[in-house]
Structure 1
């Protein structure tokens, strides 16, 4: 286990396309723990191709390769748990008491099962799907609202999800909540309307240097790759257009 001394620590390689929220859950934890890392960024259309599928056969990001412990991992929740267990000697963003430790794990799992899938699917039907399907839009927007309600009620009178300090369980919610206006297609000032506790909680996290640095890195990578806010190339607005472009690019590449 790491003792906090960078002198004997190799950089962890972290694989991601720049747009996806799940990748930045891990980046902000790496920043909070001050673990040396290097980003290996690649385009979304390469996520299901070699060499990345040699690292994650499921073809999803993020993934890490850690030479310090000779381990490769994928799934953002698994990576966060690994980092907390192996790179957090001072217990900066966790607890090691039985009750708190398991409550942190509980909220992390709720983020992965509740927030991530619902926010992502709501964003797909609101923004990317070529046809507007009112029943699907209503279904997933309602689920976003429901989960926000759970959080807002829990956070009444509290600053953090567990205990009296920020933890990885809080930080895991940050990237998807940060782009909620893009998911729901609403003004940024209205994305937490009706959920004042969630709004205040989010703002506490978003003001941290770790998050600001992560978002500066994301903006730079997005610009370098010519990507718009939704992760697709600038000038392309729907997933159908993006899929057609990728297919045309592959066809042109094969014909050479």
Structure 2
């Protein structure tokens, strides 16, 4: 092997190494670009942190009908669920939060309309009746939500594992943020209720309670909303006492 052959082979090795390095570099660039794209996509997702302001929210109440309330077998009693829904409605009205009310199967004579105590809190509001278990599949529901121009949706519905879960999962898919009120909903059993809550949290929805939601909305006693809250909170406390007295009488 002469000197020229040695130099030629050395040159070939360098070219091969340069080629391999270039391929590796290209692969790293591709991976880096993929990671950057993923990070960018995540950055574009709606935020799920931070407290919610009443001016950002709409309240969706779905299927608070006698048949559904009677069938609740999870932790929060039907009577307390009903009271907590009324509490939410009063706060929403005081703070200017749009309220969307829906029922299922009333037109088809499958179920009864909204329970009277809840309906009485929304005079002049017509429930959007539908046939689907998933309220989000109803064009009238989606249209009502779009008209509010609110992207943060607070949900309460019966039952947790069906009419609450389905609509929230679809709303999240469509780019909305979702918070649900755990003590204003109920399931056909405690395990069904708890399983649905886990499913919703895994999907990206945020759990809350009725009082915590209302306190999160107003947050400042010096605001007009704080003044409104005093009256609403006093009413709620009185109703809770009545409910506790009624429960004690039945227990005795």
TM range (shorter): 0.3 to 0.5
Which has the larger strand fraction? 2
- TM-score, structure 1 length as denominator? 0.32
